[in-house]
Structure 1
Amino acid sequence: MNKHKLLLAALPLFASLAQAQQPPESAWQQANRRVAEFSRGHADVLKWEQAHLAASAPAAAKPASLVLNTLADGVQLAWRAYPELAKPLAQLGREEVALLASGQWQALSAARLRQVDDADELIELAHATRKMLLAAIVVEQALPYQQQASQAAEAAAELGARMAQTGNWSKLQAAQRQLLQLGAQQQWQRSQYAAVLSRANVLKALQQWARSTPQTLQLPPALPALPAAPLDEQAVQHRLAQVGATLAGSEQIAMRANAALAYRAYATAYALASSQQDMLKLRQFIYDETVLRYNGMLLNSWELLDEARALAEANVNAIGAVRDFWLAEADLQLVLLGGQPESFVNLAAGSGDSPAAAGH
């Protein structure tokens, strides 16, 4: 079944709201019955169809999967890819290794780390791997919402084209909807490629790419949630004093310079992610109210589809803001161990930049 078959069956209902010519009575009743099966009206039709089609599709044979349930799983696997790191891992000890892998770096003793051979190699690889995995997870998590945005734009373009064919819309109006649809389609295509590329980058970095048996990658389903509150600046300064005591004079100066920028990026990213969550709640409220008014025939179909697309985009932006926070958090944690990030997170609105893949 074509993914828009039910949608197009209900198009006469939509067109009537825009003062289009009504179809014969039997077709009108059929469209109404199909839409009435869904509790939230026409907005649920595509979701229902996707779920039922997915359930009825025959299961295809899948290649072996590399399952990473947590970021720590990825870090551990990255370390194991380099046999020369076995010695510093053994020197560090199981408890400290677990803290380092899970990103709980403030619980580590800086003085103890200085006694471990090649500890900097362990830290740098853990930092790079965490950032790479965060970037890969966010691509996967945002995919369903980007698909929803594309589908909403496509449905609006289909409806606009039919309205233009029957003379109820101008070609200009139809072209404007088609332009939006093409832009959303391009973004969806970019997102699908980004997901493939990010998975490949992770497999390559973990040395799981060139294998005789094809390997797929299963990442954690979502980014970690924002903490209830960001790290206090006073706590950061206290940690800097502890770590600074283990460094030479020039290294202390570099650490404090990096720490000022790292904490600014961290605090700003937290504030932006928090406000983006508030924006998402407002978008959800607006969408829910639009559905109610649409089902009450107080709003037209384009307003509903526009709000569906806006809600999907708000979800993508919220996920991206959480990613930026955790990238900034990883940089701050590295600085608080005396390390120096190659670059800091870009907090520009709509930025889709991802950090480089982990290297060694």
Structure 2
Amino acid sequence: MMVFRRLSPPFKIGPVRAAALGLALSAACWSSQAQTSSALLAADPAAPASTAAPLVLPPTGLAKSEERPADVARAREIWQRANERVAEFPRGHIDLLRWEARNPGEAPPAPTGTSAKTAPLDLAQALRLSLRQRPDLFTHAGMNALEMAAVQVACARHVRDVQRAWIDAVSARQSWRQMNELWDATRTGSELGRRMVVAGNWSQARLMREQLNEASAWQMSVKAQGEALAALERLAQLLGVWEADAVSQLGERLPASLPAVPARATPGAGLTEATLEAAVLRADPRLALQRVEAQRELGAVGADRRQVWAAAADAALAAIPDPTTMATPPHIGNLALLRDHPLERAVSAEAQLLRAAGERRSMARQAWAHLQARHAGAVHAQTVVGQLQTALEQETLLRYNGMLQSSWELLASARERMQSLDAASQARRDYWRAQADWQALLSGAEYAGPDTPSNAGAGAANAQAGH
């Protein structure tokens, strides 16, 4: 609102000139606001836009056949030169290939963790940034109880959405890194197979199997990259970040991984399994208002009148010839009963309250069971499957160093471990999403329902494990 200072004498202006001056000042104020408003800049097609970082995909490689040496002398020369190079490295073929891969620098840039120069964007900061873009989720003086309840429920939904988006963005970037590592391991196997074909030790068929492994891992890496970018864009929308370079910086500020899963799944401070349903009922402000209304409507009619309605409803239901077909709805023909409007309002309010309360109690049981199941899955993936896979890889490495296993078994073990790590991170993601759903339910929002278990690692698990 513009505030005009009164001009002291002898400076006097007429009404027309005052109106023109007011319009000029308003235009100047609007122009100043337009220059500083991020929303106006974002919506202006003529506003200069930052350039998004180019999409860098991992190199696809070449699935071409390798020519075998033409004679025995040439094959022996290639074989001796290859073995001399391998002998320079402690772990033979694998160390040699890793050293060569680092020199040309052709590996794709994997998403990094939190930059050392910027503080990580934790969940609390993300929520505060998102609420700045939602003035409709602020309560204010003068609101009635119904308006306050609506804002509370809408705010709980928004908080849940931001929590899910933050969890997805962190988890997707971690999965991208793991899929890049998996692709790097399969590329090592493919390159080793190519050299063995050149040296005359392998057939083209075995090389093609390794190249298929590499191609499958490349597809999973590209898919993980796309999912990470989509999750980041979703989070940026909720936070009001619209510039391309700002979105990239937002990704760099995300933590490298999600918080660790707690040792036990707990419903919350002061809550037990016996009090879960009561807590969920109290959390819904609309249900409390609905209960007060139902009490008022039921108090206006006597129990005998409600009994008459119940008897009429039972008779209408019994008159249906085949309830499974439900060709026609139940019918009540008592006009005197139907014209009892206080009774009609009481019956309707009671039925609506019963449905709402039943739904909230069912949501409480579902959400708590879902949270416990996701917690058990995350703990099992981390403490049982992950530890077994790590121990197996270490045992395979010892046997490889003792020349009891081949390079292919070592590479296959490394790929399996990376798949296990990705499955564990996805299980952790599912737990924190279930936790966000549970907290939203305790804040008055509805239960969104269990998500389909994450299958981001399913493709990796189905990939060929090598030879």
TM-score interval for Structure 1 and Structure 2 normalised by the shorter chain: 0.7 to 0.9
CA distance in 2, matches of 1:272, 1:214: 32
Q: What secondary structure, in the 3-state scheme, does the structure 1 residue paired with 2:265 have? A: coil
Between stretches 142-151 and 160-169, larger displacement belongs to 160-169
- The correspondence for 2:181, drawn from 148, 164, 174, is 148
Instruction: Please name the residue that 2:214 is paired with.
Output: 181
The Cα offsets for residues 173-226 of structure 1, whole Å up to 9 and x where unpaired, read as 222221111100100111122222222221122111147977521212211111
- Residues 342, 175 of structure 1: CA spacing in aligned structure 2 closer, same or farther, 3 A cutoff? same
Instruction: Please name the residue that 1:123 is paired with.
Output: 156
Instruction: Please name the residue that 1:101 is paired with.
Output: none
- The correspondence for 1:85, drawn from 131, 137, 143, is 137
Q: How much does 1:331 deviate?
A: 1.2
- The correspondence for 2:443, drawn from 337, 341, 345, is 337
Q: How much does 1:80 deviate?
A: 0.6
Q: How much does 1:326 deviate?
A: 0.8
Instruction: Please name the residue that 1:98 is paired with.
Output: none
CA contact (8 A) 1:270 1:325 kept: yes
- Residues 287, 215 of structure 1: CA spacing in aligned structure 2 closer, same or farther, 3 A cutoff? closer
Q: How much does 1:29 deviate?
A: 4.0
CA contact (8 A) 1:80 1:86 kept: no
Instruction: Please name the residue that 1:298 is paired with.
Output: 404
Q: Give the TM-score of the pair, scaled to structure 1.
A: 0.72
- Residues 158, 331 of structure 1: CA spacing in aligned structure 2 closer, same or farther, 3 A cutoff? same
Instruction: Please name the residue that 1:268 is paired with.
Output: 373
The Cα offsets for residues 215-256 of structure 1, whole Å up to 9 and x where unpaired, read as 521212211111110126971441421342463434321111
CA distance in 1, matches of 2:79, 2:408: 23
The aligned runs of 1:127-138 (5 Å cut-off) are 127-138=160-171
Instruction: Please name the residue that 1:253 is paired with.
Output: 358
CA contact (8 A) 1:68 1:74 kept: no
User: Would you say 1:228 and 2:280 are equivalent positions?
Assistant: no
- Residues 346, 244 of structure 1: CA spacing in aligned structure 2 closer, same or farther, 3 A cutoff? same
- Residues 350, 82 of structure 1: CA spacing in aligned structure 2 closer, same or farther, 3 A cutoff? closer
CA distance in 2, matches of 1:51, 1:84: 55
The aligned runs of 1:90-129 (5 Å cut-off) are 118-129=151-162
Q: How much does 1:321 deviate?
A: 0.2
Q: Give the TM-score of the pair, scaled to structure 2.
A: 0.57
Instruction: Please name the residue that 1:197 is paired with.
Output: 230
**Percentage of identical aligned residues:** 25
- The correspondence for 1:73, drawn from 125, 138, 149, is 125
Q: Which has the higher contact order (CA 8 A, sep 6+)?
A: 1
CA distance in 1, matches of 2:174, 2:399: 30
- Residues 113, 173 of structure 1: CA spacing in aligned structure 2 closer, same or farther, 3 A cutoff? farther
Amino acid at match of 1:238: T
- Residues 113, 240 of structure 1: CA spacing in aligned structure 2 closer, same or farther, 3 A cutoff? farther
The Cα offsets for residues 64-119 of structure 1, whole Å up to 9 and x where unpaired, read as x996521111111111112233446x99xxxxxxxxxxxxxxxxxxxx99966711
CA contact (8 A) 2:126 2:162 kept: yes
Aligned residue pairs, count: 302
CA contact (8 A) 2:154 2:445 kept: no
CA contact (8 A) 2:232 2:247 kept: no
Instruction: Please name the residue that 1:108 is paired with.
Output: none
Runs of 4 or more, structure 1, over 6 Å off, are: 51-54, 211-214
The aligned runs of 1:312-331 (5 Å cut-off) are 312-331=418-437
Gaps of 5+ in 2: 1-57, 60-74, 110-116, 292-352, 459-467
CA distance in 2, matches of 1:114, 1:86: 11
The Cα offsets for residues 259-313 of structure 1, whole Å up to 9 and x where unpaired, read as 2221221111111111111101110111111111112211111101111111111
CA distance in 2, matches of 1:47, 1:72: 42
Gaps of 5+ in 1: 5-19, 58-64, 92-111, 353-360
CA distance in 2, matches of 1:332, 1:222: 21
Q: What secondary structure, in the 3-state scheme, does the structure 1 residue paired with 2:249 have? A: strand
Between stretches 74-83 and 113-122, larger displacement belongs to 113-122
Instruction: Please name the residue that 1:216 is paired with.
Output: 249
CA contact (8 A) 2:78 2:199 kept: no
CA contact (8 A) 1:208 1:215 kept: no
CA distance in 1, matches of 2:193, 2:202: 7
CA distance in 2, matches of 1:135, 1:28: 46
CA distance in 1, matches of 2:96, 2:177: 15
- The correspondence for 2:387, drawn from 275, 281, 284, is 281
CA contact (8 A) 2:399 2:405 kept: yes
CA distance in 2, matches of 1:212, 1:322: 29
Instruction: Please name the residue that 2:44 is paired with.
Output: none
CA distance in 2, matches of 1:72, 1:204: 17
Amino acid at match of 2:412: D
